[in-house]
């Protein structure tokens, strides 16, 4: 009988992954036998997609999530503030190579129509943040530069009902790097849609965060298995440099 209990990564294996403590030995064996989970690589002109990193999801200060949720109904608490410096480093690396950075934000939900299906799953969806900052504001440490694109969206995927694809075409993007929140919601759905449009996709695990640590781990495992390369920031940056990735768009 197979052992379906979660296990830590085997001794001597590669560096620990976020899902090591929740994925079973059987899951690992199935992944290996299926041929899934291979590295797909990255193109020569990737775009960084920063998904929904606003005060609505970070809160306005580092604090435990249950405290932050009292004032920001969607806050992810401390884990957001742990990720912010790494997201800032990734953004700086992209800008230094003249590579595009696109941000998304959750569009305002002011009534039942704009809330849509969210209202069926969240009884605080129309609750206002009890704060003195705009929940839709992107924190200063990762704020967009002038001319960088910011897309407001209604649903989890950055692609659904937005102009994102047209911008990617105009920018001659050939692959997508994803950072942001929540890992199990908007990051995962954006990653699946990027895959569906045949973009090589990279999700930067330590530049993503979620209010549920379990959901974060399982979503990263699922993305890694089927849809994206899931890597750490310190793995991605040398890859960009070694590949000679620059911002010069290919001629048409």
Active site residues: 186
Q: Quote the crossing angle between the two packed helices 188-196 and 213-226, to the nearest 10°.
A: 10
Crossing angle of helices 233-242 and 78-96, rounded to 10°: 10
* Dist CA 53 CA 197 (whole Å): 23
**Around Cβ 133, how many Cβ atoms within 10 Å?**
16
Q: Token pair for residue 162?
A: 């937005």
Contacts of 213 (CB under 8 A, 6+ apart): 79
3-state secondary structure 161-196: CCCHHHHHHHCCCCEEEEEEECHHHHHHHHHHHHHH
Are the C-beta atoms of 49 and 177 separated by less than 8 Å? yes
Which are the contacts of 36, defined by CB distance < 8 A and separation ≥ 6?
225, 226
Residue 107 · residue 114 · CB < 8 Å: yes
- Residue 48 and residue 91 in contact, taking contact as beta carbons nearer than 8 Å: yes
């Amino acid at each position: 009988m197979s052992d379906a209990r979660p296990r830590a990564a085997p001794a001597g294996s590669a560096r620990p992954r976020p899902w090591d403590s929740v994925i079973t030995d059987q899951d690992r064996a199935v992944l290996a036998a299926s041929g899934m989970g291979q590295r797909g690589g990255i193109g020569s002109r990737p775009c960084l997609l920063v998904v929904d990193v606003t005060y609505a999801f970070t809160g306005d200060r580092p604090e435990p999530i249950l405290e932050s949720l009292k004032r920001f109904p969607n806050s992810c608490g401390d884990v957001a503030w742990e990720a912010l410096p790494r997201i800032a480093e990734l953004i700086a690396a992209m800008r230094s190579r003249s590579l595009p950075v696109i941000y998304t934000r959750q569009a305002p939900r002011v009534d039942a129509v704009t809330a849509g299906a969210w209202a069926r799953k969240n009884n605080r969806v129309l609750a206002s943040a009890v704060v003195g900052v705009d929940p839709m504001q992107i924190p200063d440490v990762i704020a967009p530069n002038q001319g960088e694109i910011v897309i407001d969206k209604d649903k989890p995927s950055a692609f659904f009902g937005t102009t994102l694809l047209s911008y990617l075409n105009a920018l001659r993007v050939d692959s997508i790097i994803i950072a942001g929140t929540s890992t199990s919601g908007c990051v995962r759905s954006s990653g699946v849609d990027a895959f569906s449009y045949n973009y090589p996709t990279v999700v930067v695990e330590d530049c993503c965060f979620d209010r549920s640590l379990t959901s974060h781990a399982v979503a990263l495992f699922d993305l890694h298995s089927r849809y994206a390369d899931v890597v750490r920031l310190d793995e991605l940056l040398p890859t960009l440099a070694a590949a000679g990735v620059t911002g010069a768009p290919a001629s048409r």
